[in-house]
Chain A
C-alpha cells in the first residue's frame, strides 16, 4: 500500500487541473502579450483564470498578481510594503515566530537594512493573541504579516480579527495563506486582508504558480523587473499552463470545500485520537483551531527522520520537523516556538491528509506506526533514560 500523507509539502495534481492545463501546451500556446490570434487565445485564458481566482477570494481581477509561487508572493508583499512604509518614516514590521521561512528570511534581510521587526509569541497552542498584536502596533508600524494557517502544526490564526484590528489602526495587513487557500474560506473583503499569498501546488494544482492579492490603492511595486506583464507589478511571460491549472484546481477545491473538508477533518480526528493512545505521544498545535488535514505529534524517545524512513518502508510518506530532515542541526523553529524541548521537537511527525485520503489509509497508518515506534524506542538511549526516571 502506498499512502501519500505529506499534503502540506505538496499535493497530487487534480485531474481537472491537469485537463485544463494541457491545451496551454498544445493549442493556446501563445504569449498572452502577442496581438495575433494564438496569443489572444492565451490572453483569454489568462483573463478567465484571473477572474476565477479573484471571485473565489472576494477580490477584483485587477487585484490579482500571478507569481511563481508562495515564496515570491511573500517576498514581494513584504519587501514592497516595507518600501512604502519607509517613505512615510515607518520602519517597523510585526510578524510571528512561526512564519514560513519565505517570510522570516525576508524579514531578516529587512532587519539588516535598518527595519525593526517584532515577532509575536504564539504561546503553547500555536496561536497569536490579539492583545499581544494590539500592544505591539506602534505609530511607525508599516506592516503586519501573519500566516493564515501554519504549515507544520496546522494552527489557524484569527485572521478576520487581526484584519479588523489592523484596519482600525491603519496598518497594512498581509497574510501568507499558502496552507489555508483551498482548504479554509478566504474572503479578503470580509476578513480585511490587504495582501494575501497563495500557492497552487498546495491545493492539487501545479508547482510554479502562485498569487499575490494586493488591495486596490496600495501602490505595490515589482521585485522582478522587465516587461509590462501583470500591470507592471511582475515582469516575465506568464506561466500559462500553471496559471490555468491553478485556477481550475482552486475552483474545484473551493467549490467542494464544504463537502470535502468535514470528511478530511473526521479522518484527521480519527488519526489524532489513535496516535494519542500510544504511550508518550503528544499533539503539537491546537486541537480545534487546526487545518482539516493536519496532524502533528511528537513521539517521545525517538528521532523523526528514522521514523519517516521506517514509515516509508511501509509505503507511508510523511514529514518531520527534526533537524535531520531540515539539513541543519536545529529542529523546526515552529516546534521550538510552541515550547517544545529539542529532543521532543526532533521526534515530531507530521501527517498531512487531503480529500484523496481514505479511511483505509488512516487505519493502515495506525496499524503500522506502533511497531515502528516500539522498534526505534527499543534502541533509543533517550527512551530508556525516560523510562528509568519514571
Chain B
C-alpha cells in the first residue's frame, strides 16, 4: 500500500482542522469499531459555505480525505457542495489505495451529514438524492 504525495501532504499538513462555534451544520460519521470517525463543521452564509472544519479519528487516508473534502467545499454554494462525491475527493488526492476508498466515502458522507443538519436546523428538507446513506456499517463501503 502506497499513499500519493498529495495524500501525504494533506496528512502531514491537514487543512481546516478544528471546530466552528455555532456552526450552521455539524455532521459526525463512521464509528470507532472500524477505526474512523469524522466530524465536519460548516459555516454557511447566504447559501455559500464560508468555512468548513473537521475533527477526525482515523488513519492517514481518513485525515487526508477530511482535509481535502473541507478544502473542496469552501467557497462553494450549497448546491455545488452537495454534488461532492467520494470519487472527486479521491481523485483530488491523486488516488487512494483500494483498501482506503472507504475513507473517501466517509468524507462525502461527513459533508452530507453536516448539510442534513443545516437543512434540519432551518426546518427545510434536504434533497433526497444527496441524503447521507451511512448506517455505521463500514463493511458496506470501499
Query: What are 12 inter-chain pairs, A to B, with CB distance below 8 A?
Result: A305-B59, A305-B60, A324-B35, A324-B58, A329-B139, A342-B32, A346-B35, A379-B14, A379-B56, A380-B55, A381-B28, A381-B39
B40 → chain A closest CB, angstroms = 10
Task: Tell me, in angstroms, the Cα distance from A305 to B57 when the chains sit together.
Answer: 11
Q: How far is the CB of A80 from chain B (nearest CB, A)?
A: 35
Contact for A324 among B14, B18, B56, B59, CB less than 8 A: B59
Q: Which residues of B contact A165 (CB under 8 A)?
A: none
Q: B90 in the interface, Cβ–Cβ < 8 Å?
A: no
Given contacts A313-B12, A381-B37, contact A322 B59 (CB under 8 A): yes
A381 contacts which of B1, B33, B55 (Cβ < 8 Å)? Answer: B55
Q: In the bound complex, do residue B35 and residue A343 qualify as a contact, i.e. CB atoms below 8 Å apart?
A: yes
Interface SS of B by simple majority: mixed
Task: Using C-beta atoms within 8 Å of the partner chain, give the interface range for chain A.
Answer: 20 to 34
Task: Count A-B contacts at CB 8 Å.
Answer: 73
Contact with A along B129-142 (1 / 0, CB 8 A): 00000000011000
For A323, the chain B residues whose CB sits under 8 A away are 34-35
| Alpha-carbon distance between A343 and B37 when the two chains are bound, in angstroms | 10
Chain A residue nearest in CB terms to B14: A379
Q: Tell me, yes or no, whether B63 is within 8 Å of chain A by CB.
A: yes
- CB neighbours (8 Å) of B60 from chain A are 305-306, 309, 324
Any chain A CB within 8 A of the CB of B36?
Answer: yes
Interface of A toward B, CB cutoff 8 Å: 301-306, 309-310, 313, 322-324, 327, 329, 331, 341-343, 346, 378-384
Q: If the complex has contacts A380-B56, A381-B57, are A329 and B34 also in contact, measured as CB distance less than 8 A? A: yes
Alpha-carbon gap, A302 to B56, bound state (A) = 9
Q: Is the CB of B138 within 8 A of A382?
A: no
CB distance from B71 to the nearest CB of A (A): 15
User: What 3 A-B pairs are tightest by C-beta distance, nearest first?
Assistant: A343-B32, A324-B59, A305-B59
CB neighbours of A382 from chain B (8 A): 32, 37, 57
Q: Report the separation of the CA atoms of residues A341 and B37 in the bound assembly, to the nearest whole angstrom.
A: 15
Q: Indicate if the CB atoms of A306 and B139 lie closer than 8 Å.
A: no
When the two chains form their complex, are residues B57 and A309 in contact, meaning their CB atoms are under 8 A apart? no
Give the residue name and chain of the B residue nearest to A324 (CB): B59
Q: B62 near A: Cβ within 8 Å?
A: yes
Q: Is B2 an interface residue (CB 8 A)?
A: no
Q: Give complex CA distance A65, B57 in Å.
A: 47
